[in-house]
Amino acid sequence: MNSRIWTPTGARVNPVGLGCMSLSGFYGPTNQGEAFEVMARSLELGVNFWDTANVYGGGLSETLVGKFLAEDRQRREKILLATKFAIRRGPDGNRVIDNSEAHMIESLEGSLKRLGVDHVDLYYVHRLDKNFPIEVTIDALARQVSAGKIGAIGLSEISPDTLRCASAAHPIAAVQSEYSLWTRSPELGLIQACREVGASFVSFSPVARGAFSGQIRDIDALPGDDFRKGTPRFSGVNWTRNLARIDAFVALAADWGWNPAALAIAWVIAQGEHIFTIPGTRYARHVEENALAAETPLTAVQVAAIERVLPVGFAAGDRYTDSQWGAIERYA
C-alpha cells in the first residue's frame, strides 16, 4: 500500500481507512458475519485506520469492532483505532451535545469496554458543545492523554478558528469533516488550517454517501429509513441534476478502467499528503474496491479532468436539511 505518516506517532497508515458507521445499520441492515468479513478483508489489504463512534447503532458499531478484535489480540496492534464522544440522548429522547468532562469520561469508559481495549489511538470530540469553551474541553481530554487512555485528540465538523484555538491548548492530531467532489467547503480554510497546525485532515463520505459509486438510481427504492431519503441532494429535481453529473463521472471512470468509487476516493487523497479518508461499507467487496484508490496515485492531468466533469460547487442542494445541521460549525 502507499501509506502515509500519521503525525502523532510516525506510524505508516493507509490513507484509505474504514468508516465503521455502516456496520451498525445506518444505510441498511447488516449482521455480525458481514461486519466481520469487512473487517477481516480490511486487515488483509492493509486498511489500518478504523473509525467508529459511541453513538453508531447505540454502541453496536464499537461492540462489533470489539468482538472482532477479541478473536485475535494481534489484530489490535495492526490498526489505528479512533472513536468519538459528545452526542447523547436527553430524557425526551432528543439528541443532546454534551462536552462536559463527566460525560466525556463516562463515554470513554463505555467505548473502551465495548471495544475491549485499554486505550484508543484517537479520540474525537464528535460535535462541539457551545456551553464549554473549546480550551476547557481540550484540557479535559489532555488529562486522559496523560492517563494513557487516549493516544491523541481529534475534532469533528469544526471551523478553522476553533482548530487554532484548540491547538493552542494541546496538539490536535486530526480533524474530521465531510469532504468529497460534491462537498468541498473544507477547502475554504479547514484543510489549510490542518496543515498549518500539523493535524491530519480526515474525510468522511468521500463517495458522497454512495452517490459516486454509480449504483444508486432510484432514491425511492432505498429503504424507508435510509438517511439519504431526507437530504436535499438526494431529493427531487436536485437528485435528477446531480445524477446527470454523476453519470458523466462514472463514464470517465469507465474510460480510464477505474471503479468510480475508487476514483472518487483517489481524488480526495490527491488533495494533500496530510489527507486521509474513511469510506464506509457493509460489504467486503467494496473494501477491495475502495482500497484500490491508494494503489495508483492520480496525476495532475487526471485531477483536472475529473474537476472538469465535476467542477467545484456542482452539487444541487445542500448536504443537510436545516434541522440536520445541528452542532456542525459553519465558517464559509
**Does 56 participate in catalysis according to the annotation?**
yes
Q: Domain 4-325, what fold?
A: TIM Barrel (3.20.20)
CA proximity to 60, closest of 22, 27, 100: 22
Q: How far is CA 36 from the centre of its chain?
A: 19
Cβ atoms of residues 266 and 16 within 8 Å: no
CA–CA separation, 265 vs 274, rounded Å? 14
Q: At what angle do helices 60-71 and 32-44 cross, to 10 degrees?
A: 60
To the question of pTM greater than 0.75 for the whole model, the response is yes
Cβ atoms of residues 283 and 23 within 8 Å: no
Q: At what angle do helices 236-256 and 260-269 cross, to 10 degrees?
A: 90
| pLDDT at residue 1, rounded to an integer | 56
Q: Under 8 Å CB-to-CB from 101, ≥6 apart: which residues?
A: 140
Q: What is the DSSP secondary structure assignment for residue 84, as one 8-state letter?
A: E
Q: Which of 56, 123, 124, 179 is catalytic?
A: 56
CA proximity to 97, closest of 135, 137, 63: 137
Size of the chain, expressed as the number of residues it contains: 332
Helix (H) or strand (E) holding 156: strand 153-156
CA–CA separation, 295 vs 293, rounded Å? 6
pLDDT tens-digit readout, 316-330 = 999 988 887 878 999
Q: At what angle do helices 32-44 and 284-291 cross, to 10 degrees?
A: 30
| pLDDT at residue 93, rounded to an integer | 75
| pLDDT at residue 332, rounded to an integer | 78
Q: Which amino acid makes up residue 37? A: E
CA proximity to 191, closest of 159, 152, 168: 159
Q: What angle do CA 271, 273, 279 make, to 5 degrees?
A: 65
CA proximity to 259, closest of 292, 283, 217, 281: 292
Q: What is the DSSP secondary structure assignment for residue 28, as one 8-state letter?
A: S
**Radius of gyration in angstroms for the set of CA atoms belonging to the chain, rounded to a whole number:** 19
Cβ atoms of residues 286 and 264 within 8 Å: no
Cβ atoms of residues 183 and 319 within 8 Å: yes
- Bridge partners of 177, per DSSP, are 203
Q: What angle do CA 283, 286, 289 make, to 5 degrees?
A: 160
Q: Which three cell numbers stand for residue 40?
A: 477481516
CA–CA separation, 10 vs 72, rounded Å? 25
Q: Which three cell numbers stand for residue 288?
A: 477491495
CA–CA separation, 207 vs 3, rounded Å? 20
Average pLDDT per consecutive 10 residues, the chain (332 residues; last block may be shorter) = 76 93 80 96 96 95 97 95 93 88 98 98 96 97 98 97 97 97 97 96 96 92 81 94 97 98 98 96 94 94 98 95 85 84
Cβ atoms of residues 81 and 103 within 8 Å: no
| pLDDT at residue 172, rounded to an integer | 97
